[in-house]
A = this chain, B = another copy of it.
């Protein structure tokens, strides 16, 4: 993109959805570049982080916890299993399910990804002070949690409280 032609119009300049989207593009690009150094994707990190903290679980349960779509979970589990970062075994008590377990290699990989992700977050937030970073996290958390609750309640919109 060439140098810009001057400021955005007023309507767009402080439009929250546009600002959020713009920030997300930046954040995602930095994270994707960082993770690519280890041949990883965002769902890989999300899954390994979840397994590391909560222990073995079914794909469905992992999907419910992380919000990753079931079919994307299949792809993610396949990717990580192929590199031996996790183990997939049928649940003998319920043969509908696989039980997914992080491996020692997976833990090592997660440690690598932790460092890459931390560097990316630092770069992404570099224009902000520590206090501002915390404010941003608080505000975004409240937005996502409140809207996330609404989504889980299906088509019935809740009255704002």
Q: Interface on A for B, CB 8 Å cutoff?
A: 1-24, 26-28, 30-31, 42, 45-46, 49-50, 52-54, 57, 61-67, 69, 114, 117, 120-121, 124-128, 132-133, 135-137, 139-148, 151-152, 160
Q: Which of A19, A67, A69 lies at the interface centre, i.e. has the most chain B CB atoms within 10 A of its CB? A: A19
Q: Which of B10, B21, B135 has a CB less than 8 Å from the CB of A24?
A: B21
A115 nearest CB across to chain B (Å): 12
Interchain CB contact under 8 A, A20 and B20: yes
Interchain CB contact under 8 A, B16 and A49: no
Which chain B residue shows the least CB distance to A145? B127
**Chain A interface mostly helix, strand, loop or mixed?**
helix
User: With a CB–CB cut-off of 8 A, which chain B residues contact A23?
Assistant: 20, 24, 140, 143-144
User: With a CB–CB cut-off of 8 A, which chain B residues contact A136?
Assistant: 16, 136, 139-140, 143
Q: Which of A4, A13, A126, A127 lies at the interface centre, i.e. has the most chain B CB atoms within 10 A of its CB? A: A127
User: With a CB–CB cut-off of 8 A, which chain B residues contact A11?
Assistant: 45, 49, 52-53, 114
